[in-house]
């Protein structure tokens, strides 16, 4: 079972800075624990640094700390329902972030205290050493009544996204088929693409185009979610579809196509709606989600992932506008990147709340309210063209690559708007609104599995 530590940008920056300190330093990192069955995720919540006055000794290769330097953080962990992770550094660009005999002795001395005082029944460790712009690490998680397991990955989701394997892990050489990719952005990024867990919500024109590009780039862990079956008109846009598959679930059609491209692909599918709780919970194991759904209720759910689960979401929208004569007047695309600290889709006004409320109702309720004028009519067929859905999908995949590689401007926007009919591209960024769930002051960053899940009410479907 793999354990992934997820760090929002602010905590990742603090750890990176601390690793560059020429003296060893320490802190207690609080994280909420999620067990998905297939893996464990630790969602970073806060860092509690050992005060300088608590160090008895401190050098480049050794430190001795009085208990008052960390006991207070254990009480904070209990109050927050978090796992306390004992973090310290091994300084120097050549530093080795592996536990020394002294570190092991410290683990034996404080492990029980961490488990008991925090109420978590878990003792975890993290050691970091600086490497270039980032750090290398090792870590372990020891349950009270279980075996010690390594922290295998650190997923940092700030302005840049970095997926770090543990220091002792074996990093495979990229397959020769990715030679052109490696020439463009190097072997490390290719390895990240092969390891990252991606979910795509919506397997239509945009979602299928995103999926195929990701697989051809080297992504090998995919989750596809869509409730619909393939219609005859979908065949003009859905990648991998032919008239033969009409009537089959879209996720099955797309998964079969993608595994023909990459037989080693690990592709899971769910035919369902992300507005259903158990479907939304399946996203907990994902590192990244592409939102390629055209319903507002689904976007309301996806918008919460970057806050409650620290899971970045790249939300994609395409809108074609025509006049009364059927002449195309507008081709608009939108790629909104949601991370902790950035405005959610609600703060940005990118969700039609009236339609979202109507979409959450049963078909019979929707029709009754629409007939009475209390809800917008739903089920209308919107225009869609493969050239435009593919162009916007490519821009969404570009957003992922830029966040991983960093080839764009250092100040990355959180939204890109494409006006293809005017050959214009613009970008913008927005911050969370005060008092909204996505604002840091609300304490919901990395809330994890606390009930109600994602801080919202769920239906019984």
Per-residue model confidence as pLDDT tens digits over 49-61 = 999 999 999 999 9
Whether 60 contacts 130, CB under 8 Å: no
State whether 318 and 227 are in the same domain.
yes
CA atoms of 313 and 161, how far apart (whole Å): 12
Same domain? For 117 and 147 the reply is yes
pLDDT band at 181 (very low <50, low <70, confident <90, very high): very high
Averaged over 236-260, what is the pLDDT?
97
Distances (CA, A) of 435 to 384, 414, 455: 37, 20, 14
Do residue 88 and residue 188 come from a single domain? Answer: no
List b or e across 415-447, with b for residues whose CB sees 16 or more CB atoms inside 10 angstroms. Answer: bbbbebeeeeeeeeebebeeeebbbeeeebbbb
Q: Give the separation between CA 171 and CA 163, rounded to whole angstroms.
A: 12
User: What CATH number corresponds to the domain at position 202?
Assistant: 3.40.50.720
Instruction: Say if residue 244 is in the same domain as residue 377.
Output: yes
| Whether residue 191 sits in one domain with residue 70 | no
The pLDDT of residue 360 is 74
Q: What is the CATH number of the domain that holds 105?
A: 3.40.140.10
pLDDT at 362: 56
170 occurs within a structural domain:
no
In percent, the amount of the chain with pLDDT more than 70 equals 95
Residues 209 and 161 in one domain: no
Tally of domains in the chain = 2
Host H or E run for residue 402: helix 386-405
Last residue of a domain, one of 106, 130, 165: 165
pLDDT digits (tens, 9 = 90+) for 2-26: 999 999 999 999 999 999 999 999 9
Structural domain range at position 76: 2-165
Tokens describing residue 70: 């960390």
Q: Longest Cα pair distance anywhere in the chain, in angstroms?
A: 80
Among the candidates 135, 165, 195, a domain finishes at 165
pLDDT value for 363: 56
Q: How many whole angstroms separate alpha carbon 123 and alpha carbon 437?
A: 30
Cis bond upstream, residue 68 (ω within 30):
no
Mean pLDDT of the chain: 93
- The whole-model pTM stands at 0.95
Strand partners, 127: 88, 138
Residues 135 and 188 in one domain: no
DSSP symbols for 208-234: HHHHHHHHHHT--EEEEE--PBPPGGG
Give pLDDT, residue 145.
Answer: 83
Domain identity same for 214 and 94: no
Last residue of a domain, one of 113, 139, 165: 165
Query: How many other C-beta atoms are found inside a 10 Å radius of the C-beta of residue 365?
Result: 12
Give tens-digit pLDDT for 365-388: 666 666 656 555 555 677 899 999
Lowest mean pLDDT among 171-185, 224-238, 319-333: 319-333
Query: Can you tell me the mean pLDDT for 230-250?
Result: 97
Torsions phi, psi of 453, nearest 5?
A: -55, 130
pLDDT at 376: 55
- Alpha helices in 220-276, H assignment, sequence order: 250-261
- Alpha-carbon span 115 to 3, nearest angstrom: 18
Of 84-98, 205-219, 276-290, 349-363, the range with the lowest mean pLDDT is: 349-363
Shared domain for 190 and 69, answered yes or no, is: no
* Backbone phi and psi for residue 171, each to the nearest 5 degrees, phi listed first: -100, 120
The answer to whether residue 172 is domain-embedded is no
Q: Tell me whether residue 375 is in a domain.
A: yes
- Within a domain: 460: no
Residue 207 neighbours by CB under 8 Å, 6+ apart: 200, 201, 224, 226, 254, 290, 292, 293, 393
Q: State the pLDDT at residue 118.
A: 96
Greater model confidence, 137 or 322: 137
Say what the pLDDT of residue 1 is. 83
Report the run of H or E that residue 123 belongs to, with start and end: strand 122-131
Answer whether residue 284 is part of any domain. Answer: yes
Is position 406 within any domain?
yes
Closest of 259, 333, 4, 285 to residue 156, by C-alpha: 4
Same-domain check for residues 199 and 83: no
Residues 208-217, mean pLDDT to the nearest whole number: 98
Looking at residue 205, its pLDDT comes to 97
Same domain, 152 and 253: no
Residue 461 lies in a domain: no
CA distance 34 to 26: 25
Q: Is 105 left (phi over 0), alpha (psi -120 to 50) or beta?
A: alpha
* Residue 364 pLDDT: 63
- The pLDDT tens digits for 36-48 are 988 999 999 999 9
Q: What is the pLDDT of residue 380?
A: 64
Residue 171 placed within a domain: no
**410-443: pLDDT as tens digits:** 888 999 999 999 999 999 999 899 999 999 999 9
Assess whether 261 and 394 both reside in one domain: yes
């Amino acid at each position: 079972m793999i354990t992934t530590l997820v760090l929002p940008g602010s905590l990742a920056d603090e750890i990176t800075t601390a690793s560059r300190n020429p003296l060893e330093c320490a802190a207690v990192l609080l994280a909420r624990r999620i067990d998905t069955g297939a893996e464990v995720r630790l969602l970073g919540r806060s860092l509690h640094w050992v005060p300088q006055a608590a160090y008895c000794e401190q050098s480049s290769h050794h430190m001795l700390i009085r208990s008052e330097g960390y006991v207070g953080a254990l009480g904070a962990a209990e109050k927050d329902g978090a796992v306390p992770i004992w973090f310290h550094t091994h300084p120097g660009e050549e530093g080795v972030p592996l536990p020394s005999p002294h570190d092991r002795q410290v683990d034996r001395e404080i492990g029980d205290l961490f488990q008991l005082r925090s109420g978590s029944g878990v003792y975890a460790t993290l050691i970091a050493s600086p490497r270039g712009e980032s750090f290398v690490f090792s870590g372990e998680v020891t349950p009270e009544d279980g075996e010690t397991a390594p922290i295998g990955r650190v997923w940092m989701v700030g302005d840049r996204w970095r997926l770090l394997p543990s220091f002792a892990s074996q990093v495979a050489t990229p397959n020769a088929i990715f030679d052109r990719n490696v020439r463009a952005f190097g072997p490390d990024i290719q390895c990240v693409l092969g390891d990252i867990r991606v979910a795509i919500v919506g397997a239509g024109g945009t979602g299928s185009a995103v999926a195929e590009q990701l697989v051809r780039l080297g992504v090998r862990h995919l989750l596809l979610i869509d409730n619909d079956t393939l219609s005859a008109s979908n065949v003009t846009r859905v990648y991998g579809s032919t008239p033969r598959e009409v009537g089959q679930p879209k996720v099955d059609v797309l998964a079969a196509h993608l595994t023909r491209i990459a037989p080693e692909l690990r592709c899971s599918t769910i035919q369902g709606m992300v507005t259903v709780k158990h479907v939304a919970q399946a996203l907990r194991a994902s590192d990244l989600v592409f939102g390629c759904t055209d319903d507002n209720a689904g976007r309301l759910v996806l918008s919460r992932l970057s806050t409650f689960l620290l899971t970045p979401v790249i939300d994609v929208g395409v809108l074609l506008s025509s006049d009364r004569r059927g002449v195309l007047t507008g081709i608009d695309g939108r790629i909104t990147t949601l991370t902790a600290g950035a405005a959610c889709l609600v703060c940005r006004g990118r969700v039609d709340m009236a339609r979202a409320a109507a979409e959450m109702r049963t078909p019979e309720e929707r029709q009754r309210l629409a007939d009475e004028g209390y809800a917008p009519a739903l089920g209308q067929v919107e225009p869609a063209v493969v050239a435009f859905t593919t162009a916007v999908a490519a821009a969404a995949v570009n957003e992922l690559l830029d966040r991983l590689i960093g080839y764009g401007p250092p100040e990355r926007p959180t939204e890109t708007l494409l006006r293809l009919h005017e050959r214009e591209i613009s970008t913008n960024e927005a911050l969370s609104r005060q008092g909204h769930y996505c604002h840091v002051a609300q304490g919901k960053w990395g809330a994890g599995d606390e009930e109600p899940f994602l801080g919202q009410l769920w239906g019984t479907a």
